[in-house]
A and B are shown apart, each in its own frame.
Chain A
Amino acid sequence: MKDIEFDDTDRGILDALGNDARMSNRSIANLLGVAEGTVRARIKRLTARKILRFTAITDYRQHGTPLMALVRLVADHGKLEALATQISDITEIRSVIVTLGRTNLLCIGLFESQERLAAVCSEQIGILDGVGELSISTVVHAVKYNERMARLRPSQSCQP
């Protein structure tokens, strides 16, 4: 991510929109003391570079998928990339994260029921070549979730 270069105007725009995503370009321009056209151009550039994205966040319970679950896997390192891609294609899976630790794949999904969660884990994930230990945790309370920060850019190492 060292290819990302920002100046104070970019940072100011991200901060302003982070506090209020519906803030107008004119308001941001007034706040930062720059021209409205500058704000418009910077937002366009930040969006094109996949650093900024406007999105509508909905309560997950409205999707008919009230169960959020985290599935951790101990997977064969040689098959990790292929497994991550295969699991990403499963409809219920929202995020797939590769980790270094006791487990090496963290999959987060939304499921319509405990039965569906069990079926996905046993019939779609557990049978994949390279999957070893599999553990499931279901979310009973989401205490904090900062949706302002996300991975918007294409898959790549988190380390510089």
Chain B
Amino acid sequence: MTDSGSLRIVAATDFAAYGYNVLVALEIKVVGRSVQAVADELAEFPEMFAVHIVTGAAQIEALVGMHRFEDLSETLMPKMIKVSGLACIEVGIVTDIVTYNFDVGIPR
């Protein structure tokens, strides 16, 4: 199963162990460009912990991890404004994670 990629052994680390004290959930609407292309470009950013293409009003859901709030304006936004096709971004600042089960992942 490990050879096929359907099972992976992972050493998971708490977000805060690497100083990711700020987590932000993004709902992203894409216009005028392939959603897949936008998602692929966003996924290149190391701050993006998760990028999913979804159904609904927004086409991409993303989870961003940062060390401090200033990273939003100083690091992430300068990169995101260069990504074409981003029409609207709804931001949800994570204030608490009540449950986080991560033992089921995506195929590689």
A4-B17, A58-B103, A94-B101 in contact; A148/B95 too (CB < 8 A)?
no
Cβ-defined partner of B13 (8 Å) among A56, A149, A155, A156: A149
Collect the chain A residues with CB atoms within 8 Å of residue B106's CB. 59-60, 142, 145
Query: Are A51 and B102 touching (Cβ within 8 A)?
Result: no
**Is A39 among interface residues, defined by CB-CB distance under 8 A?**
no
Number of A-B contacts (CB under 8 A): 224
**What separation, in Å, do the CA atoms of A126 and B81 have in the docked complex?**
36
> Interface range on chain A: under 10, 10 to 19, 20 to 34, or 35 or more?
35 or more
Report A's interface with B, CB cutoff 8 A. 1, 4, 6, 14, 17-18, 21-22, 50-63, 68, 70, 72, 84-85, 88, 93-104, 106, 110, 135-153, 155-160
CB of B57 within 8 Å of the partner chain: yes
Contacts of A110 in B (CB 8 A): 104
The reply to whether A100 and B90 form a contact with Cβ atoms under 8 Å apart is no
Do A148 and B7 touch (CB < 8 A)?
no
Residues in A with CB closer than 8 Å to B84 are none
* Chain B interface extent, by class: 35 or more
Q: Tell me whether B52 and A53 are in contact (CB under 8 A).
A: no
Residues of the A chain whose Cβ atoms lie less than 8 Å from the Cβ of B79: none
* Set B17, B52, B58: member contacting A14, Cβ < 8 A: B17
Contact with A along B73-108 (1 / 0, CB 8 A): 000000000000000001111111111111111110
Mark interface residues in B15-40 (1 if CB within 8 Å of A CB, else 0): 11110111101010000000010011
Query: B51 on the interface (CB 8 Å rule)?
Result: yes
Chain A residue numbers with a CB within 8 Å of B102 are: 55, 57, 94-95, 147, 150
Q: How far is the CA of A135 from the CA of B29 in the complex (A)?
A: 15
Taking a contact as CB atoms closer than 8 A, the residue among A60, A97, A159 that contacts B21 in the complex is A159
Q: Within the assembled complex, what's the spacing in Å between the Cα atoms of A143 and B65?
A: 16
A157–B14 CB distance below 8 A: no
Q: A94-B99, A137-B55, A137-B61 are in contact. Are A143 and B39 (CB under 8 A)?
A: yes
Chain A residues in 8 Å Cβ range of B36:
141, 143
CB–CB B53/A101 < 8 A:
no
Docked-complex contact A144 and B7, CB < 8 angstroms? no
